Amino acid sequence: MNVNVNTTIDIDALWREYEDIKSRGYALDLTRGKPGKSQLDISMGMLDVVKSSADCISEVGDCRNYGVLDGIPEAKRLFSELLDIPAENILVAGNSSLNIMYDSIIRAMQFGVYGSVRPWGREKHVKFLCPVPGYDRHFAICESLGIEMIPVPMTDDGPDMDIVEELVGSDAEIKGIWCVPKYSNPSGITYSDEVVRRFAALEPKAPDFRIYWDNAYAVHDLYPDDKTELLNIFTEAKKLGRRNENMIMYYASTSKITFPGSGVAIMAASEDNLRRTKELMSVQTIGYDKINQIRHVKYFGNADGILRHMEEHAALLRPKFEIVCDTLERELGGLGIASWRRPKGGYFVSLDVLPGHAKKVYELCRYVGVKLTEAGATYPYHHDPEDKNLRIAPSFPENDDLQTAMDVLCLCVKLACLE
């Protein structure tokens, strides 16, 4: 970043503006990567599709009763069509993909993954690669279990694969990597075909290494006519054989399609991995919420139904992303104190300010009532070594509030970085 301090910027005037803002007593929030109310409203029809006992009957029986651990076949087919993964590789679970990711890691710690000789928890050290900036809740799982996290920088095409290959190929303590391959949280980057192929072809030193492929934003395009395609890692891995296929643990959910917290999550994996998971999962639960599964199936009908629904979300989200990116461009463009990408999908905009200034921006915003995700949160251990990254979540505030919050944020970036 080359600072280009425009000599016409009057810092004293900016401080006066800041004092004026302080007196307004704002309480604005850019932290929450969750759908706004109008987005939730478009899924309300889903609550009317299961009204009678007949509506609860799936091919494999009555959804109101126990059983069918891995989900009803109709739901497997819906996700299979949507994500282009064979239905037999899909397990339809409960209301949260984060929950099943957490369970997967706990199982690996306690019992080991398919084919491994030792649970990870019995190893002296377990390490994970964490592309940065990344999703704070992935990092929290590792931190809570004492898994050492090694940051890997993101490039415009995804994680730096030279580093990933080098580390994974040489260190048997590295057991996993977190990936958000499409419209990544928070940078909005989608992994290139080459990056996906290199992931599928990884040759880890640890035989029990796994790739945690969290495709949370698989169909969350902002511009339906300009979608970003993500290469299918399963197809690529299958071409290379069973060992490669066994490396991939794939997750997704309808949290940001229907209702977060009341959606349907899936896990997809090889036949070996799924068998192992089901064995262990059967101790934990008799089955997930199949009424919700059939509700989603009946409401959407097929993958096209979901894609049409996503266009409605996009229509509501686009203006918000445009408010964020247009304001950044107008206020900070050309100053050389901040950089960002205009995402084509997902839920976040990642803003890098001058190294050493993100915490200061965060504090300046907080002091005048604009809450940002804490500086550092997008890095393992909340430690952004360059103190430069901030995550903006545009979806939840109303458009007017979002505009005000962005104006304040840009002012605080200028105050922190130009003074």
Ligand X SMILES: Cc1ncc(COP(=O)(O)O)c(C=O)c1O
Q: Is 265 or 325 the residue whose CB approaches ligand X more closely?
A: 265
The site string for ligand X over 297-326 (x = CB under 6 A, - otherwise) reads ------------------------------
Q: How far is the CB of 105 from ligand X (least distance, A)?
A: 13
Nearest approach, Cβ of residue 55 and ligand X (Å) = 25
Under rule CB under 6 A, residue 31 binds ligand X: no
Q: How near is the Cβ of 320 to ligand X at its closest, in Å?
A: 16
Binding-site member from 39, 58, 104, 185 for ligand X (CB under 6 A): 185
Choosing from 43, 80, 187, 253, the residue that interacts with ligand X (CB under 6 A) is 253
Of the residues 190, 228, 255, 395, which one makes contact with ligand X according to CB under 6 A? 255
Touching ligand X, residues 120-159 (CB under 6 A): 135
Q: Which of 149, 168, 196, 265 binds ligand X (CB under 6 A)?
A: 265
How far, in Å, CA of 251 to CA of 150, rounded?
Answer: 22
- Min dist CB 393 to ligand X, Å, is 9
The correct pick among 260, 305, 355, 369 for binding ligand X (CB under 6 A) is 260
The interface region with ligand X, picked from 58-66, 163-171, 219-227, 253-261 by CB under 6 A, is 253-261
Query: Applying CB under 6 A, which of residues 70, 214, 221, 236 lies at the interface with ligand X?
Result: 214
Interface region with ligand X, contact rule CB under 6 A, candidates 23-31, 91-99, 352-360, 377-385: 91-99
**Which one of residues 83, 142, 180, 281 is an interface residue with ligand X (CB under 6 A)?**
180
Check residue 82 for interaction with ligand X (CB under 6 A): no
Interface ranges with ligand X (CB under 6 A)? 33, 96-99, 135, 180, 185, 214, 216, 253, 255, 260, 265
